[in-house]
């Protein structure tokens, strides 16, 4: 399947994983994740012993909760090699048993498996893809009959600040300007916002 993957290409080129969370209070983190699962109609105890595949786990902060529910098999697929490495490290730091867990470095549309799963997860992976429908069809192909496909998306309000930053950039700078020039022009404008971000790791 020939699909552009500009986000993953950028992450791999710069060897970064853009996902960070403060999970120092693991109990609180687990409460948030349990609340999300229950709001989706997924009783956490249902996942014990089940086959789960997650696309785009990033650095694995949310996946730690899913692994904690003791699935029979848990496959994590991400096209960002750095993210997969961070995911594995975060699992090891929280003493997750890795016996039933596998990490697959693959773009979603290139991933193949003969297995079908009880739960297919893809959190915030579909928005802003150049061809979202083929990706959804690819993810759905791994579901068993009567199993669950869970796709979460960022809301328009949540994405508003990013849209505003892009509009500012497009109005202030020529489209072919160097990344360094863009940063030098934008940092004074978004400096106060950047100062609110907590650096982790």
What pLDDT is attached to residue 70?
96
Q: Are 119 and 151 in contact (CB under 8 A)?
A: no
C-alpha distance from residue 170 to each of 7, 161, 167 (Å): 19, 14, 5
User: Could you tell me the residue ranges of all domains in the chain?
Assistant: 6-152, 156-194
Per-residue pLDDT of the chain (201 residues; tens, 9 = 90+): 556 676 788 888 888 887 778 888 999 999 999 999 999 899 999 999 999 999 999 999 999 999 999 999 999 999 999 999 999 999 999 989 899 999 999 999 899 999 999 999 999 887 667 778 888 999 999 999 989 999 987 766 667 777 787 787 788 888 788 888 888 888 888 777 777 766 554
Residue where the block lists tokens 């799963």:
117
pLDDT at 13: 85
Residue 15 is inside which H or E element, if any?
none
Q: Are 52 and 73 in contact (CB under 8 A)?
A: yes
**CA 115/CA 113 separation, integer angstroms:** 5
- Six-digit token pair at 139? 């993810």
**CATH 3.30.470.20 is the classification of domain 6-152:** no
Cα 30 vs. chain centroid, distance in angstroms?
17
- The residue behind tokens 């960002």 is 80
């Amino acid at each position: 399947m020939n699909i552009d993957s500009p986000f993953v290409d950028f992450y791999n080129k710069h060897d970064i994983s853009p996902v960070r969370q403060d999970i120092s209070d693991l109990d609180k983190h687990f409460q948030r994740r349990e609340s999300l699962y229950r709001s989706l109609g997924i009783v956490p105890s249902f996942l014990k012993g089940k086959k789960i595949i997650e696309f785009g786990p990033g650095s694995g902060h949310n996946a730690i909760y899913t692994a904690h529910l003791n699935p029979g098999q848990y496959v994590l697929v991400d096209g960002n090699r750095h993210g997969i490495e961070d995911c594995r490290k975060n699992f090891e730091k929280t003493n997750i048993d890795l016996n039933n867990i596998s990490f697959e470095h693959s773009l979603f549309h290139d991933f193949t498996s003969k297995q079908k799963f009880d739960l297919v997860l893809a959190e915030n992976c579909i928005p802003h893809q150049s061809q979202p429908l083929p990706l959804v069809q690819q993810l759905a192909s791994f579901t068993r009959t009567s199993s669950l496909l869970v796709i979460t998306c960022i809301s328009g309000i949540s994405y508003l600040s990013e849209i505003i930053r892009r509009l500012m950039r497009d109005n202030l700078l020529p489209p072919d300007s160097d990344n360094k020039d863009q940063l030098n022009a934008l940092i004074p404008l978004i400096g106060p916002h950047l100062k609110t971000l907590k650096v982790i790791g």
